[in-house]
């Protein structure tokens, strides 16, 4: 086990070095510079943590710390995989990202909570990975990056970052909303049978679902406030060819469904 752990850490170390070298060798567009610099520092930090894990093994501490060294190795392996994903936008540096990065850069610059958060763009379905103070990645399909039409959808995604930046207050507001919804759904009289239990489960699902929905509605409101008609236009284009399945929610698994039905 000791040999396997040591080899695994050496492999991680080598991969982290390769990632740092690749990042340093990549030309950077100005809009990506803060994100790029952050990624180089983050990878160097990861490298240092792997060295620390190896250091514990070299000192023979693995007899005292078997679970810690194993768990750390696994955690660092996951972190390396995440850093590989996060490095993607900085390594590929497409010119088509620049328009979106400027729009996002403007959004971040005018809010004090987000001014210093490094940002990048990646090419997947519209979305965001918001976890301040970590760098933020916005997602947009490649074909949408070449026009202005869908840029306002970033305003919605930016709402998720604002929510995350004010999480305790926002969660407290959502808690109040959920409490009110729970009270509204409360029946005037309660039976003590199987049907009553089933109805209670349904009420619970509805109330819990509102955590996600409240955040999505907040983000819609942020998008509308920033983008106005441009946001509505982008949203209607985004949704107009969505099939029936996007708007249909079966009653039970509603907690895990994507958020589309509230746009109706």
Q: In sequence order, which residues have a C-beta less than 8 Å from that of residue 200 and are 6 or more positions away?
A: none
Stretch binding other proteins (CB under 8 A), from 4-12, 19-27, 91-99, 151-159: 151-159
Q: Can you list the pairs that 167-176 forms with residues at least 24 positions away whose Cβ atoms lie under 8 Å?
A: 170/215, 170/218, 173/214, 174/210, 174/211, 174/214, 174/215
- Indicate the DSSP class of residue 193: S
The answer to whether the Cα torsion of 244, 248, 253, 255 is positive or negative is: positive
Continuous H helices in the chain: 2-25, 33-58, 66-92, 97-109, 153-165, 167-185, 194-227, 229-239, 244-247
Cβ atoms within 10 A of the Cβ of 230, count? 17
- Indicate the DSSP class of residue 64: T
The verdict on 200 binding other proteins (CB under 8 A) reads yes
CA angle 137, 138, 144 (to 5 degrees): 145
What is the pattern of x (binds other proteins, CB under 8 A) and - over residues 11-50?
----------------------------------------
Measured from the CB atom, the residue of 98 and 203 that comes closer to other proteins is 203
Indicate which single residue of 1, 3, 25, 78 sits in contact with other proteins (rule: CB under 8 A): 78
Q: Are 141 and 124 in contact (CB under 8 A)?
A: yes
Indicate which single residue of 126, 185, 199, 232 sits in contact with other proteins (rule: CB under 8 A): 126
What is the pattern of x (binds other proteins, CB under 8 A) and - over residues 237-256?
------------------x-
- Residue 27: CB minimum distance to other proteins, A: 27
What is the pattern of x (binds other proteins, CB under 8 A) and - over residues 130-149?
xx--x----x----------
Indicate which single residue of 44, 51, 182, 217 sits in contact with other proteins (rule: CB under 8 A): 182
Q: Which residues bind other proteins (CB under 8 A)?
A: 56, 61, 64-65, 67-68, 71-72, 74-75, 78-79, 81-82, 85, 124-131, 134, 139, 153, 156-157, 160, 164, 171-176, 178-179, 182, 200-201, 204, 207-208, 211-212, 216, 255, 258-259
């Amino acid at each position: 086990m000791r040999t396997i752990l040591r080899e695994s850490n050496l492999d991680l170390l080598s991969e982290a070095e390769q990632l740092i070298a690749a990042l340093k060798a990549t030309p950077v567009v100005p809009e990506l510079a803060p994100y790029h610099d952050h990624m180089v520092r983050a990878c160097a930090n990861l490298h240092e943590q792997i060295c620390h894990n190896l250091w514990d093994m070299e000192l023979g501490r693995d007899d005292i710390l078997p679970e810690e060294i194993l768990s750390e190795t696994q955690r660092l392996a996951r972190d390396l995989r995440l850093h590989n994903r996060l490095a993607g936008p900085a390594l590929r540096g497409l010119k088509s990202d620049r328009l979106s990065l400027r729009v996002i850069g403007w959004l971040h610059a005018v809010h004090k909570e987000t001014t210093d958060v490094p940002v990048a763009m990646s090419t997947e379905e519209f979305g965001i990975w918001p976890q301040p103070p970590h760098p933020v990645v916005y997602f947009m399909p490649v074909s949408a990056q070449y026009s202005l039409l869908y840029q306002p959808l970033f305003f919605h995604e930016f709402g998720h970052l604002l929510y995350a930046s004010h999480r305790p207050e926002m969660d407290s507001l959502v808690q109040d909303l959920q409490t009110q919804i729970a009270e509204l759904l409360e029946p005037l009289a309660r039976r003590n049978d199987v049907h009553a239990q089933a109805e209670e489960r349904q009420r619970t699902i509805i109330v819990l679902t509102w955590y996600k929905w409240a955040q999505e509605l907040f983000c819609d409101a942020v998008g509308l406030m920033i983008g106005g008609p441009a946001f509505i236009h982008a949203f209607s284009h985004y949704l107009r060819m969505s099939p029936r399945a996007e708007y249909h929610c079966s009653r039970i698994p509603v907690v895990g469904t994507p958020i589309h039905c509230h746009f109706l």
